[in-house]
Amino acid sequence: MKQTKCKMSNETSASGFLLLTFSDVQELQLLHFGAFLLLYLGIVSGNLLIISAIALDRLLHSPMYFFLMNLAIQDVGFVSVIIPKSMANSLMNTRYISYSGCVAQVLFFVFFLASNFALLTVMAYDRYVAICNPLEYEMIMNRNACLQIIAIVWITGFLYSVLHTTGTFASPFCSNVVNQFFCEIPQLLKLACSDLYLVEMGVLVVSIFMCLGCFIFIVLSYVHIFSAVRKIRSVHGRRKAFSTCLPHLIVFSTFLCSAVFAYLRPSPDNPSHLDIAITILYSVVPPMLNPVIYSMRNKEIKNAVLRLLGFRASKNIV
């Protein structure tokens, strides 16, 4: 009887999944659609401004801004994987996502998530070389080196996402009801009805150690950076060094804290509104804050965006 039930559920999940809705009331669903639409347009517009400003302004053609442009591209892709589908479901008053759509959502969500973390690690190394070895910076972070580094970031993120996606969908599912508003690996693993999901659990454990290694690398980089900055005699020099590091440090802290808080806490079987809010916190807030953090704390970015919008750049911007 159990095997028959599992088989029936399996056939259902093979055709698609049912995602969590924010409300059963049509008016509230439309309110959710409007809120997510404004949020999505704001995130995409902000990051596209950063991308355009860096691509079109020759003054920003340096490794630091090249990495920042890639970070903005990742942020656009990150939110585009989950928000449009959630908006469409709210607008059409449905919970459905196809099996292939769920696979694609997991694949690209993990891809942008992993690439984002890898790029933040690379950006910490870039700041370390710029501040601790300024005389060798142009030689170490030359054009070819930057292109090779960013290619490794994107390729590694993709291979990592393929590994996770394969591990997640290798196991048959006993249910097609996902307790999340998008296809998220922890929630999908709860639906597994065979021991094959242990393969993905093993991959997750390895991933934790990899992330821990990147975290330690970033922390050590900033220990050396702050030590080097303290030795700079000029107040202006120290201020400039901190101004280039602070945005990255804030972005990394926001990304790490929100992700750790979302994944290391116990995952309830029936998510509440608070659990959904926490998921939104780590999946939507960092891409939304990144353009604000960099444009507010970086004079060159702010002036480039002003020039792009047709305004005169201010010389007094700090």
pLDDT tens per residue, range 11-26? 444 578 988 877 777 7
> Cβ–Cβ contacts within 10 Å for residue 159, how many?
12
State both tokens at 273. 């509104």
Per cent of the chain over pLDDT 90 is 25
Q: How far is CA 183 from the centre of its chain?
A: 15
Average pLDDT, the chain: 81
Of the two residues 128 and 204, the one the predictor is more confident about is 128
Looking up tokens 């890898």, which residue turns up? 118
Amino acid symbol at 156: T
* Paired tokens of 118: 């890898």
Work out the angle at residue 182's Cα, subtended by the Cα atoms of residues 177 and 184, and round it to the nearest 5 degrees.
85
Contact 36, 83 (CB under 8 A): yes
Kindly tell me if the per-residue pLDDT of 97 is higher than 70: yes
Residue 315 lies in a domain: no
Where are the alpha helices (H) located in the chain, listed in sequence order?
Answer: 2-15, 26-56, 63-92, 99-132, 137-140, 143-169, 185-189, 197-230, 235-264, 273-283, 285-297, 299-308
| Residue 80, domain CATH | 1.20.1070.10
Residue 242 has pLDDT above 50, yes or no: yes
**pLDDT at res. 10:** 43
For residue 318, pLDDT over 70 is answered with no
Long-range contacts formed by 206-215: CB under 8 A, 24+ apart: 207/160, 207/164, 211/117, 214/117, 214/118, 214/121, 215/256
Counted domains in the chain: 1
252 — pLDDT class (breaks 50, 70, 90): confident
Q: How far apart are CA 174 and CA 194, in angstroms?
A: 9
pLDDT band for position 106 (50/70/90)? Answer: very high
pLDDT of residue 231: 80
In a domain, 318, yes or no: no
Per-residue pLDDT of 159-218, as tens digits, reads 999 988 988 888 888 888 888 888 988 888 888 887 766 776 777 777 778 778 888 888
What value does the mean pLDDT take over residues 65-73? 92
Greater confidence (201 vs 107) lies with 107
Asked whether residue 236 is domain-assigned, the answer is: yes
Task: Classify residue 47: in a domain, yes or no.
Answer: yes
Higher pLDDT among residues 204 and 143, named by residue: 143
- How much is the pLDDT for 197? 63
Instruction: Give me the pLDDT at residue 196, please.
Output: 65
DSSP state, residue 313: P
Q: What is the pLDDT of residue 317?
A: 43
| pLDDT average, residue stretch 134-162 | 93
Per-residue confidence (pLDDT) for residue 266, from 0 to 100: 60
The secondary structure of residue 19, as a DSSP letter, is P
Confidence label for 134 from pLDDT (cuts 50, 70 and 90)? confident
Domain that holds residue 231: 2-308
Answer whether residue 68 shows pLDDT above 80. Answer: yes
Query: For residue 102, is pLDDT > 90?
Result: yes
Inside any domain, residue 316: no
For residue 181, the number of C-alpha atoms closer than 13 Å in the C-beta half-sphere is 28
Amino acid identity for residue 57 in this structure: D
State the average pLDDT over residues 290-317. 70
Q: How confident is the model at residue 158 (pLDDT cuts 50, 70, 90)?
A: very high
169 Cβ contact list (under 8 Å, min separation 6): 103, 106, 188
